[in-house]
């Protein structure tokens, strides 16, 4: 087929990419194709969205956003990108609690892989979900809502339970964020006051190239009005940047969202990058390991030891935080979590040779991000998810034929799909 992911490090094995224009066409694909896998915005670096059958992209499906102002919820089509969704929410006076660093990713793809932003008190994007609508292997509709027994197994579902067609998201009133960057904090001083540094704003990221194992190159603090407190960053040696920064040294700041402490809409500050630009470094690979927050000192010490091997392959490493959740396959399941994110140069052989050393050096709580490059084997990963067996049982129930449904046509079982629309229900 020759189709590749965004980074170009993965060529999909799938025989074809199907792009249904409505639910009826999607039913036909699901029920008449032996193996089907949902394909998001192709920002995954691992084979999580690959199959030997057909990949199904929802990019051509109707773009629907249904906002209930009384309930403060939005039912949205799964294939929407966050960058296309958030202006509509903001125009209606609403916001999401957090966003990922890239607005280019699809809503369902981000949720299904446990993708996140940063913030001590904020969960991953999946924790914003109140309802999941799935098309299961037999073409039937399944809706799970928060509080249902299997809801927590379906939200971060890796595309293994069915094709997510819509999500219902929890909203809150729109707010402003200001973003300030600080250069040159020191690791020893930062670790001594780690909680205060990551609590300096609503969303905080630490960037380092590991060229100097003692220094944090940049600390990005994103805060709502009145919530910023950078005293700990300054005490760790940080100093406010004298101009806008890109996380990757030597790259111009134009693709980045506005810095310098200038307040602006939530959706134009929480992501690191603007939708209209190529995100991050462009040609890159990514890995991320999510650890129990209590293991941060040991993890950073391990990375500092490996810095001479990491730095030549690296653009930049980002340290982010997130609140614990109860979603079965979420990397933040059951504990306050810190993400160690690596933006690698496009050297697949070099990165794949180095990753086992990193995986062996990190605490045993480390869980790889499902959509990024890792080498950890299945048994090792399984042991780090207490609800793994329950998820496997849920998958077996929803897809008992392991992706080999009897060809049928169930299009009549679904209502006619409406076209693109933004609908605001006011009560």
Domain spans of the chain? 64-174+388-401+414-425, 177-265+275-382
Find the angle CA(272)-CA(276)-CA(282) to the nearest 5 degrees.
Answer: 65
Supply the pTM of this predicted model.
0.91
Q: Distance between CA 135 and CA 114 in Å, rounded?
A: 20
Q: What radius of gyration, in Å, describes the C-alpha atoms of the chain?
A: 21
Task: Reduce the DSSP state of residue 380 to 3 states and report it.
Answer: helix
Please report where in the chains the tokens 């990024």 appear, as a residue: 372
d(CA 132, CA 112): 10
How many residues appear in the chain?
A: 427
Which pLDDT value is given to residue 38?
83
Two structure tokens written together for 226:
């009145």
**Intrachain domains 64-174+388-401+414-425 and 177-265+275-382 with the same fold:** no
Q: State which fold the 64-174+388-401+414-425 domain adopts.
A: 3.30.465
The tokens describing 99, both together, are 């966003």
The angle subtended at Cα 357 by Cα 318 and Cα 194, nearest 5°, is 35
Per-residue exposure over 406-420, b if at least 16 CB sit within 10 Å of its own CB, e if not: eeeebbeebeebeee
Nearest to 186 by CA among 212, 222, 209, 205: 212
Stretches where the chain sits below pLDDT 50 are: 403-413, 416
Query: Under DSSP, is residue 75 helix (H, G, I), strand (E, B) or coil?
Result: strand
In CATH, the number for domain 177-265+275-382 is: 3.30.70.2520
User: What pLDDT, on the 0 to 100 scale, is given for residue 240?
Assistant: 98
Task: Please give the pLDDT value at position 35.
Answer: 86
């Amino acid at each position: 087929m020759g189709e590749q992911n965004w980074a170009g490090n993965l060529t999909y094995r799938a025989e074809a990419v199907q792009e249904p224009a409505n639910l009826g066409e999607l039913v036909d694909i699901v029920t008449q194709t032996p193996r089907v896998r949902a394909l998001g915005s192709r920002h995954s670096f691992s084979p999580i969205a690959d199959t030997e059958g057909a990949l199904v992209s929802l990019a051509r499906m109707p773009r629907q956003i249904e906002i209930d102002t009384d309930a403060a919820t939005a039912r949205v089509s799964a294939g929407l990108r966050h960058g296309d969704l958030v202006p509509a929410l903001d125009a209606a006076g609403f916001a999401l609690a957090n966003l990922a660093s890239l607005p280019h990713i699809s809503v369902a793809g981000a949720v299904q892989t446990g993708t996140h932003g940063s913030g001590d008190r904020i969960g991953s994007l999946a924790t914003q979900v109140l309802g999941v609508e799935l098309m299961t292997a037999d073409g039937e509709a399944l809706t799970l809502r928060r509080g249902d027994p299997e809801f927590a197994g379906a939200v971060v579902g890796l595309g293994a339970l069915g094709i997510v067609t819509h999500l219902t998201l929890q909203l809150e009133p729109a707010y402003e964020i200001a973003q300030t960057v600080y250069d040159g904090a020191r690791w020893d001083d930062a670790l001594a006051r780690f909680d205060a540094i990551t609590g300096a704003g609503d969303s905080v990221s630490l960037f380092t190239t590991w060229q100097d194992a003692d220094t944090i190159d940049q600390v990005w603090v994103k805060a709502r009005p009145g919530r910023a407190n950078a005293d700990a960053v300054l005490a760790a040696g940080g100093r406010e940047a004298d101009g806008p920064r890109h996380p990757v040294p030597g790259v111009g700041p134009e693709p980045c969202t506005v810095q310098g402490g200038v307040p602006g809409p939530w959706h134009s500050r929480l992501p690191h990058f603007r939708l209209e630009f190529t995100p991050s470094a462009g040609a890159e690979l990514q890995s991320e390991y999510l650890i129990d927050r209590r293991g941060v000192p040991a993890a950073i010490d391990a990375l500092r030891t490996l810095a001479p091997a990491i730095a030549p392959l690296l653009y930049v490493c980002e340290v982010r935080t997130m609140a614990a959740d109860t979603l079965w396959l979420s990397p933040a399941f059951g504990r306050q979590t810190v993400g160690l994110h690596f933006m690698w140069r496009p050297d697949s052989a070099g990165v794949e040779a180095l990753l086992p050393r990193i995986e062996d050096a990190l605490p045993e709580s480390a869980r790889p991000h499902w959509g990024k490059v890792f080498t950890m084997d299945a048994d090792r990963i399984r042991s780090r998810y207490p609800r793994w067996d329950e998820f496997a049982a849920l998958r077996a129930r929803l897809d008992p034929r392991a992706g080999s449904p009897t060809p049928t046509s169930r299009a009549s079982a679904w209502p006619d799909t409406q076209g693109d629309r933004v609908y605001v229900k006011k009560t």
